[in-house]
Amino acid sequence: MGLRFRVLKQDPVDAWIAETFPQQDLLRAEIAAELRRCPVLLTDPPNKSYFGHVIELAIGLALCDQSPYPRLFHCLDPGLATRLLTMAGYQPTAADAYDARRRSDPVVHPAHLFTAACRLAPGDPILRPTGAG
């Protein structure tokens, strides 16, 4: 009996990714090196939806031109609210109200966005309307 070998064709998705992103292995190695330098933060959130709230808030902070979540910021100490908004890339306008701030920095470091979002997340469930939908 002779051995028969099949020629396996490359998956079209893998082929497209390899062609579109020829430096993907280098990028993956850089990301892995960055992650290895970061300290591991062990946390046990009170519920698993906490991280969902953080992600939602971080996305809002990253995408809005005007400062989002004014109800959350009004619940904070004014100094803390100002620091968090500045950290997320927002600067005061003439009125200097929390909801009148404008994005001044189009590129904000993700760690700054997530830090601000983590500080806002505990107040988010408290201010959300309750009741069955």
- What's the pLDDT score for residue 40? 63
**Segments making up each domain of the chain, as ranges:** 49-127
Q: How confident is the model at residue 131 (pLDDT cuts 50, 70, 90)?
A: very low
Residue 8 pLDDT: 59
Please say if the pLDDT value at position 19 is more than 70. yes
The answer for residues whose C-beta is within 8 angstroms of residue 23's C-beta and 6 or more apart is none
| pTM for this entry | 0.55
Calculate helix-pair angle for 49-63, 110-120, nearest 10 degrees: 120
Angle at 120 between CA 74 and CA 35, to 5 degrees: 150
pLDDT digits (tens, 9 = 90+) for 57-115: 888 888 888 878 888 888 888 888 888 888 888 887 666 555 567 777 777 788 888 88
**What pLDDT shows up at residue 4?**
59
Q: List, for residues 114-123, the tens digit of each pLDDT value.
A: 888 888 887 7
